[in-house]
Structure 1
Amino acid sequence: MTGAFGEAVRRWRDRVAPETAGLPAAGQRRAAGLRREELALLAGISVDYVTRLEQGRASHPSAQVVEALARALRLSGTERAHLFRLAGLAPPGPETVPAHITPSVRRLLDRLAGTPVAVFDACWTLLLANPPYAALMGDPSEWRGDQRNAVWRHFLGPGSRTRHTPESLRAFEAALVADLRATADRYPADQRLRRLVADLRVNSERFAELWDSGAVDRHEAGRKTIDHPDVGPLTLDCDVLTVTGGDLRIMVYTAEPGTEDAERLASLTALGVPTLAG
């Protein structure tokens, strides 16, 4: 990789206004674009690594890092492919799980600024979460690698704030694993997905049992109770929208108007978390 990669990142960083990325624009700024620390936060990598990439002192960034930078910089599909080539990588093809968030999806999220919304790829890796979602489910801005994958977090990590009965837990786990298997069938050449499945099968007996059952299905969210540490339990409708052509999942949480749940959700939304967790 040459300095062209760092030059491209700097150039594209300068054109992203902080407010369009869900960041506060307060304080004196030498430029209208993102600061390095803001890009690092949005991409989920360290400021030092962003600095070394821009200065040409770091070589061979992974495909995951390039994808995260492209997402944080709001690159078009053509620009994203160019950034991959500058990194010496082939742009992701149809055999890999899509992770590109299109401008139309960005606009949809901008219009839902007061509603908890998160975007996942087809193997349930979190790509983007708006501030109300971070306030509801916990701030994911510090999550790295597999920590950002909902399947891994459920079976091997700390789980989530969602409350389950024994029956709902069994149904949830079966649907989640069946959905992941369906994704693996669609993208058999995706090495990251294959590594994730292998890790889960080795380290979680429950996952291995469900995976080996061979079930293939689509995970569809429904009504959920979230145990929030500050406002208490909230029972919310959770809808998952699939983006045609991109295989992205947009998760949206809403409350029935006029209920105590709606009041609690509104208080969380007002409090928020001051960054987009990308």
Structure 2
Amino acid sequence: MATVEFGQAVRRWRDRVSPEAAGLPAGGHRRATGLRREELALLAGISVDYITRLEQGRASHPSAQVVEALARALRLSGTERAHLFRLAGMVPPGPETVPAYLTPSVQRLLDRLTGTPVAVYDASWTLLLANPPYAALMGDPSGWRGNQRNGVWRQFLGPAGRARYTPQDRRELEAALVGDLRSAAARYPADQRLRRLIADLRTNSARFAELWESGAVGRHESARKTIDHPGVGPVTLDCDVLTVAGSDLRIMVYTAEPGTDDAERLALLTVLGTQALVG
């Protein structure tokens, strides 16, 4: 019964979210004002087939990550999010786990940065949300799953990204990320997903293990970065990391100095990338 009710709740909340409110284009003929399944799947990083099976009550026991992703994509209030977790047969995440909830006020803030590359991470540097300009700048993360969505894992075990680093910059970044993860583990000792992530990194990355054992401390903060973009070439930007008080979320924002070649390249790649995503 709970499975059917879960699907009904997802469908009901999907119908009330307009594509414009979710930052998506509303072009084409629409039978309803709400999100299509394809759009919800894109926003939540879940396959359309799985969304369909959830709504039809044919998929049982969705994971906590799936429920959290749906709650974010559907812009649920705190009370609604807790209700969705209970419908999935789970206790809503408490203060002992890494927060992954975007409040409506934070979501409204992000909505006002539609032309600026923005990504939101949790305290363990797991990507929660990336807007279209960020995807255009850094590469589309919508297909990433599991540890692929974690910035620390990608730094030590993933493929090379578009950001360019000097050897010194890379050492400082890696030490700061390990320090961040150590702090998160101390704040959220009961978070099983975080513990598994750290274990995976210690087992499979000699560099991470070395830094972890050395007691490296630090914090990944604002920096000036050069991004090697395949379409427009190198773009040098200011990267600021804003922390949301009370939720431990990290909002990463990329900006260019007005009137510079970098500002022109950023504007161009944002338009090109958005057109590609819409098409």
Contact kept? 1:116, 1:254, Cα under 8 Å: yes
Judge conservation of contact 1:131–1:274 (CA < 8 Å) in 2.
no
Instruction: Name 1:18's counterpart in structure 2.
Output: 19
The answer to whether the 8 Å contact 1:120/1:127 transfers is: yes
For 2:150, the equivalent position in structure 1 comes to 149
List alignment gaps of at least 5 residues for structure 1: none
Closer/same/farther in 2, CA of residues 51 and 45 from structure 1, 3 Å limit? same
The Cα of 1:136 is off from its aligned counterpart by 0.5
Distance 2:84 2:228 in 1: 41
Identical amino acids, percent of aligned pairs: 81
Aligned position for 2:125:
124
Q: 1:274 to 1:211 in 2, by over 3 A?
A: farther
- Once the two structures are superposed, residues 119-162 of structure 1 have per-residue CA deviations (whole angstroms, 9 ceiling, x without a partner) of 11111111111111111000111111111111111111113211
Aligned to 1:9: 10
**Native 8 Å contact 1:238 1:252 kept in 2:** yes
Deviations 1:213-243 (A, max 9, x none): 1223321131111111111111111000000
What's 2:31 paired with?
Answer: 30
Equivalence for 1:181: 182
Task: Check whether the contact 1:98–1:248 (CA below 8 A) recurs between aligned residues.
Answer: yes
* Counterpart residue number, 1:94: 95
Instruction: Quote the offset at 1:2 in angstroms.
Output: 3.0
Alignment of 1:236 onto 2:237 = yes
CA distance in 2, matches of 1:215, 1:59: 42
Q: Determine the C-alpha separation between the residues in 2 that align with 1:212 and 1:40.
A: 40
Q: Is the 8 A contact 2:257 2:263 kept in 1?
A: yes
- The TM-score with structure 1 as length reference comes to 0.96
Contact 2:243 2:251 in 1 (8 A): yes
2:175 touches 2:217 (CA, 8 Å); kept in 1?
Answer: no
**What is the aligned partner in structure 1 of residue 270 from structure 2?**
269
Distance in 2 (alpha carbons) for counterparts of 1:273 and 1:84: 33
1: CA distance, partners of 2:187 / 2:260: 41
Equivalent residue for 1:168?
A: 169
CA distance in structure 1 between the aligned counterparts of 2:239 and 2:221, rounded to whole angstroms: 9
Deviations 1:89-136 (A, max 9, x none): 010000000000111111111111111111111111111111111110
Aligned residues: 276
Q: Which residue of 2 aligns with 1:210?
A: 211
Q: Which residue of 1 aligns with 2:45?
A: 44
Aligned counterparts of 1:269 and 1:53: Cα–Cα separation in 2: 34
Paired position in structure 1 for 2:135: 134
Match of residue 248 from structure 1: 249
Structure 2: 5+ residue runs without aligned partners? none
1:273 deviates by: 2.7
- CA shift, 1:269, in A, is 2.1
Question: What letter is aligned with 2:15?
Answer: D
CA distance in 2, matches of 1:30, 1:12: 16
Partner secondary structure for residue 163 of structure 2: coil
Q: Using the alignment, how far apart are the partners of 2:202 and 2:211 within structure 1?
A: 9
Following superposition, the deviation at residue 167 of structure 1 comes to 1.1
Secondary structure in structure 2 of the residue aligned to 1:159 = coil
Q: TM-score under structure 2 normalisation?
A: 0.96
Superposition deviation, residue 274 in structure 1: 5.7
2:72 aligns to what? 71
Q: Is the 8 A contact 2:45 2:142 kept in 1?
A: yes
* Distance in 2 (alpha carbons) for counterparts of 1:224 and 1:193: 27
Q: Which amino acid aligns with 1:95?
A: E
CA distance in 2, matches of 1:225, 1:180: 24
247-256 or 158-167, larger mean C-alpha shift: 158-167
Equivalent residue number for residue 222 of structure 1: 223
Shift of 1:28: 1.1
- Residue 275 of structure 1 deviates from its aligned partner by 9.3
Work out the CA distance in 2 between the residues paired with 1:132 and 1:153.
Answer: 20
Could you tell me whether the CA contact under 8 Å between 2:175 and 2:218 is conserved in 1?
Answer: no
